[in-house]
Amino acid sequence: MSIIPLPQLLALLCCCGLAAATQGPTDPSTPPNLGLAHFHNLTFDPGTWTLSWACGGHDGAVMSCTVIDQEAGIRRRVRSRGCRCRFQPMELHRGVDLEVAGDKGHAQVHQTLRFENEGAPGSGAENLTCEILAAHFLCCYWAVGPAAPDDIRYSLRVLNATGHEVASCSAAPGTPPTRCQADDLTHLPRLAYIVVTGQSRTGLVRFLDAVVNTKGIERLGPPDNVSASCNFSHCTITWAPPPTWAPMTEQDFRFEIEWKSCPPLSSSTQKAEPSSIAQKVVIAGREDNAFAFPSPAPRGRLWVRVRAGDTRSDRWSDWSPALELGSEATTPPRALVLAASSCAALLCALALGAACRRLALSRRLLPPIPGIRDRVSDDERVNSETLRKDLLRP
């Protein structure tokens, strides 16, 4: 066995090292970039979600593009059309990686591009929320970025899937605007892309964007035309569903009814006694928009309100103004009270007349007249309180 001299050993090692280096590590997942030079001027337009490149040299190539948002774990792939790929509206504020790839014969072409949200970290708006109010307005709110420059001015635009502006607003000058309202929703699509951009003299400001399902951001108003009435056994509350921007069917609605019965105002002190515990019920939307429940105790008062829910977004409207049905809910019509009291007066007079006759005849003690009032107020339609007052009236 011969010993290899040191210089020769070094030369041998170098050779092997070089051989290994030229062979290189191969990554089976990415095809060799044979066609790097094929995509000239690869550019991305965030306003239309379009990746495009200079045409020429790709005729017959099958191309696909991929957009990757690493942070959100989103990966979407589309086929190319001509020398461009158009993606569906998507959030871009975290930055995205874009890839274009194709086959030409046996050669594969592949190129990537990084799109960044340029500007100082923390300069952009945060926590964007939007809602459609009163079936007519898109109202959006956000917070000023923690590192936003002092002269920041944010403005908001709403785009449809082809990148056309369908609504916009920039808030009044002065304090940094964090809210704006778009009044014309005529062209607002089901999927809207909303972007808040910022401007400052100190440099670029990051943008904040969101893709919003406009059907899910509608905040319903309280039900309209709420009314309630009671008979002896039941009270019925009726309402009209609130107007909505997106067409809604009965099944998209639900309603919550809350009611409480209160004892009558005490006639001596005119103070309300403690009320009963409120009762609530949620019902599915239906054609009659009405709900009946047992009447409160006779001569009680009733307090009732209703709110509308959107089954698509799980959100509730504000409550309708509470309706209070006073004793009129259980008091008979005035004519009946008058009739009852005149009847009672007549009975009184007859009884008195009879008593006087008996007194005159026998001069014995007046026998007790069996409860006139009780007999009259046995009829539960008659409010004994009212009756008593009427009787005592001069």
Ligand X SMILES: *[C@@H]1O[C@H](CO)[C@@H](O)[C@H](O)[C@H]1NC(C)=O
Which residues have a Cβ under 8 Å from the Cβ of 296 and sit 6 or more positions away?
235, 261, 262, 276, 302, 329, 330
Residue 134 makes contact with ligand X by CB under 6 A: no
Q: What's the token pair of residue 267?
A: 């006639």
Residue 298 makes contact with ligand X by CB under 6 A: no
Q: What's the token pair of residue 311?
A: 């089954």
Residue 216 makes contact with ligand X by CB under 6 A: no
Rounded least distance, CB 110 to ligand X, Å: 18
Residue 187 makes contact with ligand X by CB under 6 A: yes
Residue 385 makes contact with ligand X by CB under 6 A: no
Q: Which of residues 114-133 bind ligand X (CB under 6 A)?
A: 126-127
Other Cβ atoms closer than 10 A to 393: 7
Residue 292 makes contact with ligand X by CB under 6 A: yes
- Binding ligand X by CB under 6 A: which of 13, 54, 282, 343? 54
Element (H, E) at 353: helix 334-362
- Binding ligand X by CB under 6 A: which of 224, 250, 378, 380? 224
Output the CA–CA distances (angstroms, integers) from residue 272 to 207, 294, 297, 321, 327, in the order listed.
Answer: 57, 21, 15, 20, 12
Q: Which of residues 317-346 bind ligand X (CB under 6 A)?
A: none
Q: Which of residues 137-156 bind ligand X (CB under 6 A)?
A: 143, 146
Q: What 3-state DSSP class applies to 377?
A: helix
Q: What 3-state DSSP class applies to 206?
A: coil
Rounded least distance, CB 245 to ligand X, Å: 15
Q: Which is nearer to ligand X, 329 or 344 (CB)?
A: 329
Residue 88 makes contact with ligand X by CB under 6 A: no
Residue at token pair 């928009």:
289
Give me the residues paired with residue 193 across strands: 159, 211
Contacting residues toward ligand X, per CB under 6 A: 40-41, 54, 126-127, 143, 146, 160-162, 164, 166, 187, 189, 224-225, 231-234, 236, 240, 292
